[in-house]
Structure 1
Amino acid sequence: MPSADSGDARVRLLELAQEKGVGLSKLSALIGRNSSYLQQFVRRGSPKKLEEGDRRLLAEFFGVDESELGANKEKSYNASPSLLADEDFVAIPRLSIAVAAGPGQFAGDESPFDNFGFSGRWLRDHGFDPKMLSSVTVEGDSMEPLLRDGDEILVDRSPGPLRDGIHVVRLGETLMVKRLSRSGQGRISLLSQNLAYPPLDMALEDVEVIGRVVWKSGRV
C-alpha cells in the first residue's frame, strides 16, 4: 500500500477508530497525550502529521502498517496482532530525565519522549492510576544491586501518607532515588542500597517526595 499523506492518515485513523469502536480521546490517552489531541489532528489538522512514536503505538494497537497512518513505506513495518492490540493496553509516559543513584543528577526536560505499554488489568490489580504513573531512568550505582545504572523505574505520584520504601525525591534541583525511612519527628533518612554511600538525615520539609517506585525494568 502506498504511504498516506496527512489527509489520508486522518481519514484512515478515524476509520480504524470507528471499526474498533474506540474513541479518539481514549486513543489520545493510549499514546500519552491530552484527551483532545487526536480529535484536533483529525478535525483541524493540528498537528499536521503524527509523530513517529505516536504513529507506531497506534499502528501496533490497530494491527496495521504505519504507512496507513502517514509513514513512508520504506520506514514502516508490518505490524502484527499482539498484546499491543489489546483494548486494555495503557501507555505510560517515559520522561527524558535521569534520577541519581549516586551523587546527584540535575533535573532535565521533564517531557515524555516515548511510552511504556502496560496491561490495564495489571495496573488495576495493583491499584495504580495510569494518570499518576511515569517512567524515568536510574543513573549511578548507589542503589545497586537493587537498581542499576540504566534501569528504568515506574514512579507512582499518587498522593497519600508517606510510607517507608523506595522513592524519587527532589533536593533543590536534584532528583534522586533513595530508600526513605522516618528517623524521628519531622525528620527523614535517605538510604542507599550500596553501603559505600552514607545515609542522609534531614528535615522532612527539605525533601520533596515526587513518588514511590513501584516497578523496574533493566537489561540482563
Structure 2
Amino acid sequence: MIAEWVRTARKDAGLSQADLGAKLALELGEERGHTKANISHWETKKHSPNLRQLMAIAKITDHNLPPQLMQGRTPEVAPTDFEASNDSPFIEGGMPVRIGDEPDTIPIRRVKLKLRAGIAGYETEPELEDGGVLHVPRRIIEKNNFVPHLLLAVTVKGCSMEPLLFEDDVVVVNTADRKPADRELFAVNFNGEACVKQLWKDGGHWFLRSFHPKHGPVSVRSGQCEIVGRVVYQPGRELTGRL
C-alpha cells in the first residue's frame, strides 16, 4: 500500500525518482538527501519510508497520506515507530506523529565517520539506530546559529573521556567549526582513527587530552591530526565553553 502510494504521488506530481529524492533532501534538511535507488526501493517494497519521510512526500506532492495510516497499523509501518495510546497508536481523525518529531526539535543525522590514515577529509555512513537521527532542541540550534545539515551526531567509542563522556554516548559535532580552541572538545581524525578529545595548548604546542587518568595527553605532532568539527551538544547539555 505504501509503495503504491509513493509511486502514484510521485508520478501525479510529475517527478522522477531523482527529482523526488532531491526535494526530500530540501524538505527534511538533509545534506545528501535520497538517491534514485532509495526511491526505487520504496516503490518496489524492498524498504519502506518512515512516517517523517511519508509526511514530507505528502507535502511535496500535495497528496494526502494513505487513509490506512490514519485509522490503524499497517504491515509496512512498525508499531514502535509511533507514540502509542492504549492499544492503538492512532486517534481517529488525527495525524500520526513519530516520537521526537515535535516542532521544538530538529533532526540531526546520526552517522559513523569513515576515516583513513594519510587521507584528508572524511566520509560518513548512516547510523541506523534510533531511526538514524538525533532530535536536538530547536532553541539550541537557533541560539548558537548552527546550520542543521552541517551537524553530525556520532557515538563516542572507548572510555578515555570518562567521566565527562562514556562509551556509546551520542554527541553532536559542528563540522562548520574546525578552528582549534584551547580546552574545547573536538572530533578529530588522528592517524585514521575517529576520536573525541579535548584540545589543550601548553607551551605553544597542541595536545589531544583525555579525561580518564589512565590516558595521558598526546602531542598532535606525534601523528597526523585533522579536526572534523567541534563537539557542541550531548542530549541534556551543551558542551561548549572551556571545560
TM-score with structure 2 length normalisation?
0.61
Q: Secondary structure at the match of 1:116?
A: strand
Q: Secondary structure at the match of 1:57?
A: helix
After superposition, give the CA deviation of every residue in 1:56-80 in whole Å (9 maximum; x if it has no partner): 3335778x78965xx6357455463
Please, which of 53, 56, 74 is the counterpart of residue 51 of structure 2? 56
Q: 1:46 to 1:205 in 2, by over 3 A?
A: same
Q: Which residue of structure 2 aligns with residue 9 of structure 1?
A: 6
| Residue identity (%) | 21
Going by fraction, where is strand more abundant, 1 or 2?
Answer: 1
Checking the alignment, whether the CA contact within 8 Å between 1:123 and 1:129 is kept in structure 2 is yes
Q: Which has the higher contact order (CA 8 A, sep 6+)?
A: 1
- Say whether residues 1:47 and 2:40 are aligned partners: yes
Moved more, 205-214 or 144-153: 205-214
Q: 1:160 to 1:204 in 2, by over 3 A?
A: farther
Please, which of 158, 180, 193 is the counterpart of residue 174 of structure 1? 193
Q: 1:10 to 1:122 in 2, by over 3 A?
A: farther
- Say whether residues 1:92 and 2:108 are aligned partners: yes
- Say whether residues 1:150 and 2:168 are aligned partners: yes
- Say whether residues 1:183 and 2:202 are aligned partners: yes
Name the count of aligned residue pairs. Answer: 190
After superposition, give the CA deviation of every residue in 1:80-120 in whole Å (9 maximum; x if it has no partner): 3476153x753211113599xxxxxxxx9721131122344
Please, which of 31, 34, 37 is the counterpart of residue 32 of structure 2? 34
Following TM superposition, the consecutive aligned residue runs of length 4 or more in structure 1 with deviations greater than 2 angstroms are: 9-15, 23-29, 31-35, 45-48, 56-62, 64-68, 71-83, 88-91, 96-99, 117-122, 202-206
TM-score with structure 1 length normalisation?
0.66
Q: 1:27 to 1:169 in 2, by over 3 A?
A: same
Q: Secondary structure at the match of 1:149?
A: coil
Deviation at residue 198 of structure 1 after TM alignment: 1.1
Unaligned runs of 5+ in 2: 13-19, 59-64, 83-88, 91-95, 116-121, 237-243
Q: Which residue of structure 2 aligns with residue 212 of structure 1?
A: 230
Q: 1:172 to 1:65 in 2, by over 3 A?
A: farther
- Aligned-pair RMSD on alpha carbons? 4.0
